[in-house]
Amino acid sequence: MELDLIIVGAGPAGLSLARALRGSGLNVTLLEQQSLSAVQNPAFDGREIALTQHSAALMRQLGLWPLLGDANIAPLKDALVLDGGVGSTQSRMRISHSLSPKAELGFLVANHHIRRAAYQAAMGEGAGLAPTLRCGEQVTGIRTDAQSARLTLASGETLQARLVVAADSRHSSTRRAMGIAADMHDYGRTMLVCNMTHPQPHEETAWEWFDHGQTLALLPMNLDPASGLPRSSVVLTLPHQEIQPLLDMDEMAFNRAMTGRFGGQLGDMHLTSTRHAYPLVGVWARRLVAQRFAAVGDAAVGMHPVTAHGFNLGLRSIDTLSKALVQAHQGGQDIASPQLLERYHQTHQRAARGLYMATHAVATLYTREHVPARWLRRGMVELGERFTPFKRAVAASLTGLG
């Protein structure tokens, strides 16, 4: 039997696309290498996702938002950009929610909660035919022609569909198998992520602190349920070789180290989660489509997290592609026509290009430690603080409403 659509990857992107297509009449199958239990009950992985107001609206449309649980959604009211060390040498720029039409710039939700909600929305009870989810499956080959796409699985089984969509991470093996080149930039840095409590309030403000020799981020979470103390997701970015010693430290030593790295500005910090590390690599797929093939989410564009746009941009790709597929199917047209896929490619690359280039420029500038780079970034922060139209533009970008 030929399927309408095969989605490779049942992470948040793949499951969100499957959910967007429920009720369309399309016959959808998801393929995932992980076990069913790992997809149903994803483990904490340290990553907290800063969601824009636009992304929150898309997640409400998809039915994901109420499945997150109110206790797992933290408001992100303001953003604070810092440059330099603690004291008189430190420059600051605050982006206030008052510069936007909303009471907060966005929201903070843990990645594993988003994954769980996406599974429940895609596979749970609801209107329309639920997709078929096949876990423990690895794609070993893909071939397409003018009539269909054929996938070969590790078991030797072959599946046929009108369209294949890659949603299998920024290092997508499916995209590579289709011969699509991607520009990859390894920033030579790794980020360490964990949750920590601290006595000083975060005031629902996200920090992005470009200190000398390190980059720190603080993402405001809801109060710690055990202690009632303010709690944040902490992100420390360092050269690869400097991360492992921090992962190996005992908890007390790690607490002291992180308190010191934050210059004591939040008081004594205490670990409340496991620690996780992720190398920072940006990926720009040169094409998002090929014959009877498309890429969404990180498989399309893998962003550096400094501007917090990765998952938000992925949701935009899903919204754009799913609407085009539904419209074509309802009109009796080919859901994988070259014209439809090219429109998706052009639309999403236009939406992503500026963000990707700006993010790459910021990440590159703020990882350079020579004196001219330090002067330039300090000047940018100080000028931005005094130039309200610039801050208003940043606020619009952070809300996703610009």
The alpha helices in 270-370, defined as continuous H runs, are 310-330, 338-365
pLDDT higher than 80, residue 402: no
- Report yes or no on 326 lying in a domain: yes
Tokens representing residue 19 in the block: 């959910």
- Distance, in Å, from the CA atom of 217 to the CA atom of 239, rounded to the nearest integer, reads 16
Q: How far apart are CA 172 and CA 7, in angstroms?
A: 12
The pLDDT-based confidence of 186 (bands split at 50, 70, 90) is: confident
pLDDT bucket at 398, cuts 50 / 70 / 90: low
The answer to whether residue 363 scores a pLDDT higher than 80 is no
Q: Which of 323, 327, 276 is nearest to 296 (CA)?
A: 323
Angle formed by the axes of helices 310-330 and 53-62, nearest 10°? 40
Single pTM value for the model: 0.90
Instruction: Kindly state whether residue 255 falls inside one of the protein's structural domains.
Output: no
Pairing of strands 149-153, 139-144: antiparallel
Average pLDDT, the chain: 89
φ and ψ at residue 192, rounded to 5 degrees: -100, 130
The pLDDT value given to residue 298? 94
Position with higher pLDDT, 104 vs 229? 229
Q: What are phi and psi of 231, to 5 degrees?
A: -135, 145
In CATH, what number is assigned to the domain containing residue 368? 3.50.50.60
Residue 233 placed within a domain:
no
In the beta sheet, which residues pair with residue 29?
6, 132
pLDDT of 378 higher than 60: no
Which structure tokens are listed for 206? Answer: 């996200």
Reference 122, options 46, 32, 2; nearest CA is 32
Q: pLDDT tens-digit profile of 202-233?
A: 999 999 888 878 889 999 999 999 999 999 99
| Strand partners for 377 | none
Render pLDDT for 126-171 as a digit per residue (tens, 0 to 9).
767 889 999 999 999 999 999 999 999 999 999 999 999 999 999 9
Token pair for 141? 């080959």
Structure-token pair, residue 298: 């990180």
Q: Which residues contact 339 (CB under 8 A, 6 or more apart)?
A: none
- Give the pLDDT confidence score for residue 303 in this predicted structure: 83
Residue 356 has pLDDT above 90, yes or no: no
Question: Does residue 381 or residue 268 have the better pLDDT?
Answer: 268
One-letter amino acid identity for 91? S
The whole-angstrom separation of Cα 149 and Cα 147 is: 7
Provide Rg for the chain, Cα atoms.
22
Say yes or no to pLDDT of 305 above 60: yes
H/E stretch holding 392: helix 388-399
Burial of 41 (0-12, 13-18, 19+ CB in 10 A): exposed
By mean pLDDT, which of 42-56, 97-111, 193-207, 360-374 is the weakest?
A: 360-374
The confidence band for 100, taking pLDDT boundaries of 50, 70 and 90, is: confident
**Alpha carbon distance 315, 296 (integer Å):** 8
Residue 192 lies in a domain: no
| Residue 100, domain extent | 3-184+280-399
Is the separation of the CB atoms in 86 and 265 below 8 Å? Answer: yes
Q: Looking at 43-57, 106-120, 345-359, which range is the least confident one?
A: 345-359
Side chain identity at residue 249, one-letter code: M
Residue 309 in domain: yes
Residue 376 pLDDT grade (very low, low, confident, very high; cuts 50, 70, 90)? low
- 257 within domain boundaries: no
pLDDT for 310: 78
Q: How many domains does the chain have?
A: 1
How many C-beta neighbours within 10 Å does residue 232 have? 27
Name the pLDDT band for 370 (thresholds 50, 70, 90). Answer: low
Q: Which helix (H) or strand (E) holds 148?
A: none
Residue 308 has pLDDT above 80, yes or no: no
In a domain, 263, yes or no: no
Query: Is residue 260 situated within a structural domain?
Result: no
Contact 77, 97 (CB under 8 A): yes
The model's confidence at residue 101, banded by pLDDT at 50, 70 and 90, is confident
